Structure 1
Amino acid sequence: MDNPVEAIQSVKLDDDNDTLILLDQTLLPNEKVFLELKEMKDVWDAIYELKVRGAPAIGIAAAYGVYLGTKKSTAGTYEDLYEDFKKVKEYLASSRPTAVNLFWALDRMDTRFQNEKGKNVLQVKAALKEEAEQIRAEDEEVCKSIGTHALTLLKPEWGILTHCNAGTIATAKYGTALAPIYLGQEQGYNFKVYADETRPLLQGARLTAWELQEAGVDVTLLCDNMASIVMKEGKVQAVLVGCDRVAANGDTANKIGTSGVAILAKHYNIPFYVCAPLSTIDLTCETGEDIHIELRPSEEVTTTWYEKPMAPKDVKTYNPAFDVTDHTLISGIVTENGIAYAPFNDSLPKMFQQKK
C-alpha cells in the first residue's frame, strides 16, 4: 500500500538559494506550510519554537543550518573559516538542550570540517554540504531498519499505543516509533493505533493523528489521561515511543508524559518499547539523572492552543518538555542494529558493534 506521508520531506536544502526549507509543524494539521529560512536566527528560532521537531529532524536541520551559515562566510583561509563555523555551531547548539541529536549532528559536522584540514575554503564548504546530505540519507535508512526490527515484536491486528510524534515528519522518512506501523501497513498487519494527544503541545493530536490518517492507518486519538482505560479494556497489546536521549543504563528521556505511559503499561503487563537511533544513545550519560530537562514557557500550558486563556491569569505553571522513563519499565530498546534488552549497560554498547 502506498504511503503518501512518506513523500513529505520535513527538512530540505535548497543550496542554489542558500535556503533551509522546513515544514512548520506548529501549523499542522490545519495548514501545511514550508518555511524558507536564510538567516541563522530564523533557523535557531525554528528549532527552539518546535517548528522543526523530532530528534532526527532537528539533527538534520542543524547540519544543514551550520553548513549554510558557514557557506556565507567570506573567510579566505581554513583557520578563519573554522572560527566562523564554530560561532554558527555554538549558536545553533544553544537552541535545545535535551535532544542529543542536535549536538551529535553539529559535532559530526565539526569532525568533518577538521578532517578537511589542508584544503581550500571552497573544498571545505563542499565537504560540509556532503556531510549534511549524508546525515539525512543515513537517517532514512536508520528509520527503515528500526521499523524492520520493531515489526518482529508485533503481531497482525494488534492495538498499538504511541505518545508524542515519532513519525516521518520527525525524521528523514518513516519515523522511528511509527516506522513499524507503516511497514506493517504495507504487509497487511492492520494495526489499530491509539495516539495520545500529548499535552501541552499536542504533538499526538496535531501530528501523529494527522500523518497516520493521511496514510490510511486506523488511528484513534486519545486524551493523555485515557491511556489507562484503553489498556484495561484490552485494546492495547504494545506501546511504541521514540526518544530524545537514552542513557547508558537504559533510562530514556522522551516527551513529557512518556514515563506515565510506561508505568501504566507495566501495571497492565503490556510491553513498552523505545525506538532509538544509535545517535540518540549517549553512553557517556550514566543514568537519567544526568539528563538535563528543558523547561518551557507557561503560555504553552495556559494560552497557546486556546482562543481564550484556560487558566487564571498569572497562575504559576511547571512545564518540563521531557520526562525520564526508568530503564526497569522498558521491555526493549529498538535500534537500527537490533533490539537491546536488559541489562542495558551490557546490551546498548553491543548495538554499536553489530551490523544491520
Structure 2
Amino acid sequence: MTPDTDVVVIGGGQSGLAAGYHLRRLGVDFVILDAQPTPGGAWQHAWDSLHLFSPAAYSSLPGRLMPPQPGQTYPDAAHVVSYLTDYELRYELPIKRPVRVQGVHQHGQLLRVKTDAGTWHARAVISATGTWWRPFLPAVPGRDRFTGTQLHTADYRSPKNFAGQRVVVVGGGNSGAQIAADLAHDTELTWVTQREPRFLADDIDGRALFDAASARRRALDEGRADTGGVASLGDIVAVPPVRAARHAGHLKATPMFSRLTQAGVEWADGSRADVDAVIWCTGFRPALGHLSSLGLRGSRGHIPTTGTRVKADPRLHLLGYGDWTGPASATLIGVGRPAREAARDIAALLQRA
C-alpha cells in the first residue's frame, strides 16, 4: 500500500513544530495533526500570570529566535503563543487542525493513524502530544466527599475567581509555588507540600536548568556518575512573583493533609480546616493513550525508548515528554536537539526502506 505521507507528527505544540522544522530541512514528506483549533499548544491554556523561566533568547525553537517582549525580562504565555503562531507560518509547516488522533495501529509495513477527520497511513510517526492533556490527581481519601471547588493546574486561570475565599494549593513544584504566589494577596491561602519546599538560588533561571539537564545526560551517556541534573539544584525556580511572595512571608508551606472532609481538609494529627477550594498542582502524565493499541508499555507502564526512538518499533518516536525522551525536551529550548535527532533517525530509516 502506498503511504499518504512519510511521517505523521501528532501534536502541533512546541515539540511538533520543532520536529516539523527538522523534517522540512531534511526534505521528508510529513503532516502535523493538531487537536487544538488554534496555534500555541498548551501555552494558550495556561493561567494568566504564567511567565517563562528564561529570557526570550534562551526560550527559542530551532531556526528562529524568540523576539523579546517589551517591558518583560521573562515573556508571558501570550507572547509564547504569538511566537509559536509566527513560527509555523514562517516555515510553512503543514498543520491540519483541529484533528484529534484516536489511535495508531499496525498496518503491514505502515502505521495507520486514525483520527476524527479521517485516516492517514505513514512510514513513521512522531508522537508529540506532551502532558498538559493528562493532569494527575492523587488518590487522597475523601476527595469525592469535598463539596467545595476542586481544580487542577490545567484548569486554573486567575486569582480573581477566588477572591476572599479560603484556598488550599497542593504541590511543592513550580506550578504550586507560582499559583500560591498568585493567590497570596486575594485569598486566605494554605500552601501544602509533601516535603519542605526547595527553592533554587535566586539567580538561577531556565538557562542554568537546561545546562544542568544536558550535563546529566552527557554524564550518563559517557558512563560517568549521575550528576543529579536539575533535581540536584532544587524544585522551584524563584521567578520574580514567587520571590516577592516568599520575601513577604506568604509562601510558608504546611505539611500535606491526610484526607478531605465534606467541608475542608484534615491532617494526621486530627486538626482540620474549612476551605472553599482546593487547587491540585500535582503534575501531569504523558498523554499517550493514542498509542495503547500498539502494546508498547512495559510492566511499569513506561514505553522503553532509546533517545526518542521506541525500542519495540523504530518507526515510532516520542518527543517532548521530559528527560526520558531527551534532556529538557519538555522545554522550548530543550526540544530542538532531540527533535533533530528524531528527524535524522527517521530520514535514515526511510532511506534504508
Q: Which has the higher contact order (CA 8 A, sep 6+)?
A: 2
TM-score (norm 2): 0.25
- More strand per residue: 2
Which structure: greater helix fraction?
1
